[in-house]
Every structure is written in C-alpha cells, then in structure tokens.
Amino acid sequence: MVKLAKFTNGTWVLIFLLFVVLIGANTYLSRTTITDLNGIQKDIRYSTEVIDLLQRAHTNLLTAESGQRGFLITEDNEYLKHYKDAIVELRKLSEISPSLFLDKDVQEKEVKRLFELLEQKTAEMDETVKNAQADKFRQAIKIVETDAGRVMYTNIRNLIKSISARENANRQAQIYYLENVSKESQRNIIISFFTSLLLVIGLVVLARANIMSNRERHREIENQNTRLTEAVEERTKELSMFSDELARSNRELEDFAFVASHDLQEPLRKIMAFGDRLESSDNLSERQQDYLQRMRGAASRMSTLISDLLEFSRINTRGKDFQLVDLNMIVNNCVDDLNVLIEESQVVLVLDDLPSINADATQMRQLFFNLLANGIKFSSGVENAKVELHVEQIAKPNTIDIEGLENWYKFIIKDNGIGFDQEYAEKIFAPFQRLHSRQEFKGTGIGLAICRRIVERHNGLISALGEEGEGAIFEISLPLNNHLISVKQ
C-alpha cells in the first residue's frame, strides 16, 4: 500500500508537470501565432493603405489636369471648381503620407519624391490657371504646350507604378505567409488536442489508481482505529482501576490520619488533665514542678503538631469549591485574630487594597494568616518593625501551562525581621524544617508547608527571598479567574 501510494503521488506530480508544460507550450504557441497574425494584418493593412493613397493621388492629379485643360479651352468656371477640389485633395494626401511611411525607408524616399513632383506639377498648373484668369491665355497655353509638364507627369506615373508594385508584392508575400501561419496553427491545434486527450486519459487512469489506493488506505485506517480504540478502552479500564484504587487509598489514609490523630490526642488530653491535677498539689518539690512543666509543654506541642499534620493532610481532600473571595475581608479577619500578637510585637502593618479572586475562602484565610503571623513573629524585637502586604498585576507565569487561567496577581508579604540565608529558600517550605530553635521562636515547622500546599491547589506559585538581618519577602502568584483541577479523590 505504501509503494502504491508513493507511485500514485509520483504519477500525480508527473501528470501535473506535464499539464503545466502543455499549458505553457500552448500558451507560447498561441501567443506567437497571434503576434505573427497581428504583424501580417498590419503589413497587409499598410500595403492596402499605401496603394489606396497612390490611387487617390493619381486620380486627383488626372482630375486636376482635366479641370485645368477644360477651363483653358472653355473658360467655364465649373471646370475650375473640379480643378481646385482635386488640388485640395492632393495637398491633404501629401500631409498624410509622412506618418504612413514613417518606418519604411525605401518607400518613404520614393513617396517623398512622388509628392515633391506632385507639388511641382501642382505649382505648374496653378501658374497656368492664374495666367488664364488674368486673360493671359497665350502664356497659359505656352506653359501647357511645353514638355516639362508631360515629363513630370510621366515621372509621377512611373513612381506610382513602382511603389504600387512593391506594395502589391509585399501584400502577396504577407498573404502567403498568412496561409502558412494558418496551416501551422491548425497543426498546433491538432497536436494540442491529442496531447490533451492523452493527458485526460492519464488523469483518468491515475484517478482510478488513486481511488483504489484511498480505499485501501481507508480500510487500513479503519483497522488501525479499531485496534487503537480497543487499546484505549483497555487502558481506560486500567486507569479507572488505578483511580479507584488511589481513591480508596486516599480515603483509607484520611481515615487513618483522623483515627491516628484522635487516638493520639486522647492520651495527650489525659496527660494534660493529670498534669493539671498534679500542678495543684502542694506536695511537689521544685524539681518535680520543673519536670511537670516540661511534660505539659511537650504534651501541648505534641497536640499542636498532630493538629497541624491533620490540617496539612486535608488541604486537598477537604478543600472547598472555588468561589469569588474578597481578599480585603480575609486579611482584615486575619489582622483581628493577630491583634494581640501585633500589639505585643509593636509591629506596623502596611496593607494594599486587594482584589477579589476565585478561591477557597477558608484556605485563603489560612494562607494569609500563616504568612502575616510569620512576618510579625520574626520581626518582633526589631526596631521599627514593619510587615507589608502589596499586590501587583502580572502576566501569566511561563511555568504555568494550565488553560483558562487569566488575570494574574502577585501578592508580596515583606518584613524587616531577622530574615534567613537564601540557600534555605526551598528548605523552609518542607514540613518540620526549622531554621531556629524552639526556645527562640514558637512553632511546629509546618506552617509554610501548608502555605505551599494551598497555593499549589490554587494553581499558583510561591517563593521566598531572604537575607539575614534584613528581612524576608514571600511572593505568591495567583490567577483571578481560577478553577479547581478535578481529581478523583
């Protein structure tokens, strides 16, 4: 089938090239024939006009002489009128002749000589007529009886015969050439007809071969489509099974996390309760009181850590659908909750007016709460402590290839706190990663990991910039027109 297709395609190309060559050859031959015919027609028309001009000149010359002689003999003005009309016509013809013989050197010289003689003959006849009108008939007749006028007429007649003979010969040659061109055109038409016929036959044969090839190709494509459909259906079933298995695994992990957190929290609550009872006792020594405080602190941290882990595991599984969220309201609620910490840390907050975006409102509150709380916590004790929240509109990041995410914004949370070394910019987003001891700053080390998980669920990007002693900057890029990527849970 492949060889047949290649053969058919190659034949199509060959036929097309032959067709183009045929059209080009026919066009060239037709154009050449038309050009030749136009040239022949022009030459024949030229010869006809020349002969007509000469005949009219000869006729008017004879008319003028006849009118002149009639006037001299009878003195009848009617002859004089014929004479004058003929002279006027001769002068008109002498004005036409230069343009007619412009590109004919030999003819131009002879015609020029002809009309010079005609002018001389006309002048002679004018002088005769003027003498007759002045009653000088003797002088007029004397001019007529001289041989000069007869010689001029003989020369004029000979020139007219010579030019006419040459033009007649040229016209006959052109007529003969016209016959040859006509015969050649007929031959070209016959050749073009048979060539076109062969081309049509070739096209029919090729079309038939092409139809057969297409049928075979369609059958092969249908067979391939059938095999591909079967493979896709089989693969779809496998993916569906894997998806169901993954969904069951996720549910089991979620159930395990919930049960584990509940089972772990229960002993911690008992430890805390018994610790409270022991703390109220007056029989404990100072050393025992210290041990008790350490035990209760460890239990409290363990309880917070379990809650944070549970929250971290539920970001994707328990998240809500996206809806339009007013981020100004979200951030104001966070500030209200952080009011005590803000007053204790004496931190100044600078907040931009924020847009509304499609998001999970609960997770947006958790995101901005964690980042603002971090900025306040790590800026406490710094002179002129300040935490800023700015926003700017940006183009869609190059690393995001999800369709339909438009109108991107970058949220910048900046503080002038203790900062961090830039080499830890990725490490701080991993769970349980701390850059400072528990005694310096409280926390479980999972807050920024939760932030990254929330931003990723919202199809965005989060990054950190820091410098020790200069503060930190967190940048979050989120789309305004967002949609949740559906994954079977």
pLDDT score recorded for residue 411: 95
pLDDT score recorded for residue 409: 93
pLDDT score recorded for residue 264: 63
376: which residues sit within 8 A by CB, 6+ positions away? 338, 341, 342, 345, 347, 385, 387, 415
Domain boundaries, the chain: 2-211, 320-481
pLDDT score recorded for residue 98: 57
Six token digits for residue 120: 């001389």
pLDDT score recorded for residue 253: 60
pLDDT score recorded for residue 99: 58
Q: Can you list the positions of beta strands (E) in 295-440?
A: 323-326, 348-351, 356-359, 386-394, 406-415
CA distance 386 to 328: 19
Six token digits for residue 387: 């935490």
- Across the 489 residues of the chain, what is the mean pLDDT of every consecutive 10-residue run? 51 71 75 75 76 80 78 76 80 68 59 76 76 68 67 79 79 79 78 78 78 85 89 84 72 62 65 71 74 72 64 62 89 89 87 91 88 84 86 88 85 87 78 55 68 88 86 90 60
CA distance 12 to 9: 5
pLDDT score recorded for residue 4: 45
At 367-397, the pLDDT tens digits run 898 889 888 888 877 788 889 999 999 888 8
320-481 maps to CATH 3.30.565.10: yes
In this structure, are residues 265 and 306 in contact, taking their beta carbons and an 8 Å threshold?
Answer: yes
At 160-203, the pLDDT tens digits run 787 778 778 777 877 787 778 777 777 777 887 787 787 778 77
CA distance 212 to 204: 12
Phi-psi region of 407 (alpha: psi -120 to 50; beta: other; left: phi over 0): left
- Per DSSP, the three-state class of 108 is helix
Beta-sheet strand order (sheet of 348-351): 348-351, 386-394, 406-415, 471-481, 461-467
